[in-house]
Structure 1
């Protein structure tokens, strides 16, 4: 069971709050990547109507997160009472509080050269201490606490993903894309592999009119010298890459597999590579053939 427990038919409702500079935006983005509907800068008094909409939305709004912060000024004073009232309704309402030490928050504000929202005519530290005092009851009422003092944005996003993703949900989506070099390199890809080291079935009269999705072509390509060795080595090389992408919270990547026309070798090798990578923990696979329908 994850930290965000399932709430039956009402879904999940998460309130994200905490110190300015502690990572609320990063946490909100991570939740969006997990499929949550995120509402930012919401006054606490609007939480109850939002929860009503969530309940009415049913399956259309199964997971909703509301970001509440000090920009609400005096409105935040009502937060503990609002949170308690929401919990009393029997809905799955949880509060996530993000915190960090004063010295870390000062460095973060200085690095972006922005004043603290409660700084006024004082120093950064004055603003941070004022906010910490005002948020003390909110922190006390929180269900979940993350101290981000020692976390970078990628580590924080990963921690949020670990806390709120479904146990079996994929954390990275890998697209394996076949293509033909004669039609140009695909854009927006992370890795490219060239299958033109293998004999081209195009020069075989019996295979020319078929594609890499046909058994005859697939068997021909995979049986050529070097094909199995490449697949073994490339699949093994991608395993630490995919694991690293997940640690760095990179949610999507594309591996392009090319041959001359994108019809035979690249198609067969892309599908076999996908087969070998299936079952990789945390990875959902998608195979696309960009140039398969071209003449």
Structure 2
């Protein structure tokens, strides 16, 4: 239980609702900021304005999956108010408290470093990333179905990257009886792809494998689907880029050539916000509980 622990939730999307629900059920003192348009009511949960002292007395601060943008703006889909993380807010975070987010951009990282605030990025955790890869894979398949006129079954698919998301996606496509090639960089990944029944190749040789591809999925957050690669794709091929913005695709050249290319980060929160929220809620509640035990608050 989190009795006596004060958690401030600032902004977020539908995933945050599951986090709020679980924290409340664990008897935490929960304060919501940036939820003024939220219709749902949570018993025992308070609301506050985003003032300079809004974080005073908090044991934990939870920001959206992407903590802030490059200018410090905090996404808050349930509010018309614009929320910005500032030095004044950072100064009010109590000593020993932590700021939790999915992934932090340099703005938030620098602010927490400057003010000696412990920043926890939960999407960096293997367990959360693996769980999150499930709705990501389902969302990628959904997009493939929506934007093609062929079946996944029997289609020629390439998945670039055999990390946590790439592995789950390749296995999902294989389960739908697609012909799956996997682009990898490491010998160990090549061996694992072979063992799993995929057709592996090294990403440096990508140009040799795209001439007959129907669906090209990318999970690598660096420019890999270049103009040279796109020039060799069939016109009816579809690129679905799952890497963090700006992705790993030359979208300008894809549009110029008439190849459909879609940037699709953050799919869990779009296609399965309830399930994705539960994944975050389980991790956050456990981390806050562990921190509280260490501080002797519980």
Q: TM-score range by the shorter chain?
A: under 0.3
Instruction: Say which structure, 1 or 2, has more relative contact order (CA 8 Å, 6+ apart).
Output: 1
Question: Which structure has the bigger radius of gyration?
Answer: 1
Q: Which TM-score applies when normalising by structure 2?
A: 0.27
Whose helix proportion is higher, 1 or 2?
1
Q: TM-score, normalised by structure 1?
A: 0.27
